[in-house]
Structure formats: C-alpha cells, structure tokens
Amino acid sequence: MQSSDSTLLGRYRKGDDDAATALYVKYANRLRNVAVSQTSQNLAARFDADDVVQSVFRTFFRRASEGYFDVPPGDEIWSLFLVIALNKVRRLGKMHRRKRRDVGATESIESSNAESHESDALMTLQMSIDELLEALPSDKKQMIEMRIQGYGVTEIAEETDRCTRTVERTLRQFRESLAEQVYEE
C-alpha cells in the first residue's frame, strides 16, 4: 500500500530518507513535464528541466525540514510542488533575460521571442488560476468563474444567493491569492 503524502512528509521529518525518495519518485516526472511545458525553446538551451526538478525538491526538503509545509490528511502535496516549479521556471527565465544574460540577444528573431514569452506568461497565469480554483469550495469557485465570464458583482450575488459584500470579499481574496502566487519571489 502506498503511503499518503502527509505520512511521507512526517516520516521525512523524522529522518526517513526512504520517505524523501518516495516523494521524489511519485512527483519527479510530473514536475519534469511541467518544467518542459513552461520553458520556451530559447530558454531550454540555457537550463534543463531536470535542473528545475532538482531545485524544486531541494527547496521543498529544506523548507519541510524547517517545518514550513504541512499536508492535510488525505490530500496531495502536488499543488505545492507545482507552485514551486512554476516560480522556479519564472525566476530562471527572468534571470536569463536580464541584460547581460539576455537569451533574446542570441536569437535573431526577437519578435518571436516576445510572442513566446507572452504565450508562456498567459499559460502560467491560466495554470495558477486553475490551481487556485481547484482549492476553493464550489460556491466561491462559482463566483470566481462567473466574474471571469464577465458577470457583474450584483448578478453574481443574485445567482449565488449571496450578498454583494460576500461576493466582493470572495473576489478580493481570490485576487490577493493570485497576486501572491504570481508575484511570489
């Protein structure tokens, strides 16, 4: 029987290296796929998806040993790994686009680079939104989805049978969570 992520994290904190290995084996390929899909071709020449995976686990295990991460019983730690990986890819991309390291300087077609970066940013934003929506209760999720579809606060309040202040608060909290996730350094 496979141990839950919460159990594995607890065992790791007690010094069980096999628990760390089990978490790595369980999530490394998924993280590698995320890193590959979120890295543009010109940046892929600068860093490897496996570098991202190793960095994600290095950060996770260091912070987990300091007591920073907890997994609710019966839940997976995948969403945390996903956020860490997306932030790592974003930071690496930012670093390699700085003036002295600018990956665009090695490319002959800068407009295609801009389109690629914009596409990557939109894809990352959509993944962040989807991930945050998954964690919400269905009533709050419905409010956010309706707002994304263009409904006004009053319309959302009427449709969900909530007061406008509740809808406004839910929307504000979602914006704050999204901002934290997207701009987290």
pTM: 0.49
| pLDDT above 90: percentage of residues in the chain | 8
Helices (H) then strands (E): counts for the chain: 9, 0
Q: How far apart are CA 127 and CA 132, in angstroms?
A: 9
Classify each residue of 16-27 as buried b or exposed e, where b means 16 or more C-beta atoms within 10 Å of its C-beta.
eeebbebbbebb
Residue pLDDT, tens place only, 41-72 = 666 556 677 888 888 888 888 888 888 877 76
In the predicted structure, residue 9 carries a pLDDT above the cut 90: no
Averaged pLDDT, 15-31: 89
Q: Report CA-CA distances (Å) from 130 to 68, 94, 135, 153.
A: 24, 23, 9, 21
Contact of 92 with 47, CB cutoff 8 Å: yes
Find where tokens 């860490």 sit. 84
Residues 84-137: tens digit of each pLDDT: 888 877 777 677 666 444 445 544 444 555 555 566 667 777 777 877 878 888
